Amino acid sequence: MSFEIFWDPKAVSQLRKLPKGISSRIVKKVKLAGETGIGNFKRA
């Protein structure tokens, strides 16, 4: 099964506004979903 995550350019500025711990967890979760297809992200 192939998954693809589309990165929204606005997400970068939104992530910068969040505390570092929260933003790093979000980035790790997105990377995990992109690599394994596991997560609460919609398929493209």
Phi, psi of 42 (to 5 degrees): -75, 145
Nearest C-alpha neighbor of 25 from the set 12, 38, 15, 36:
15
Q: What is the DSSP letter of 8?
A: P
Domain carrying residue 4 = 1-44
Domain count, the chain: 1
State which amino acid sits at residue 3. F
pLDDT digits (tens, 9 = 90+) for 3-43: 566 767 788 788 888 898 888 888 888 777 777 777 665 55
Nearest C-alpha neighbor of 3 from the set 28, 31, 23:
31
Q: Is the pTM of this model over 0.85?
A: no
